[in-house]
Amino acid sequence: MTTTTLAPTAQPVAIPVGEALPWVIFAGLILMIAIYFVGAEQGATAIFKGMYVHEFVHDGRHLLGFPCH
Ligand SMILES: [Zn+2]
């Protein structure tokens, strides 16, 4: 009869919050910019003239449930 002992070989890696925080803030800013262009880049809140941005993200607007037409 053999005895098998399973020893954990993988240890969890600690993620220091101080090192991850700038990347979390950066990703949040990129996400907010993307949400703006998908959801609010139209009409009075438009930065770019014309409907180019709106038409480019039009399917995304409908997918995310933003009011459109
Ligand atoms: Zn639409």
How confident is the model at residue 30, as a pLDDT? 97
How confident is the model at residue 26, as a pLDDT? 98
Closest CA to 66 of 32, 38, 31: 38
pLDDT in tens, 8-66: 788 888 888 999 999 999 999 999 999 888 888 877 878 888 888 888 889 988 998 98
Please tell me the distance between residue 37's alpha carbon and the centre of ligand 1 in angstroms: 14
Statement: the pTM of the whole predicted model exceeds 0.85: no
Q: Which two tokens stand for residue 66?
A: 């933003």
How confident is the model at residue 37, as a pLDDT? 87
Per the CB < 8 A criterion, the answer to whether 58 and 68 are in contact is yes
Please tell me the distance between residue 66's alpha carbon and the centre of ligand 1 in angstroms: 9
Please tell me the distance between residue 53's alpha carbon and the centre of ligand 1 in angstroms: 12
Look at residue 54 and give its three-state secondary structure. helix
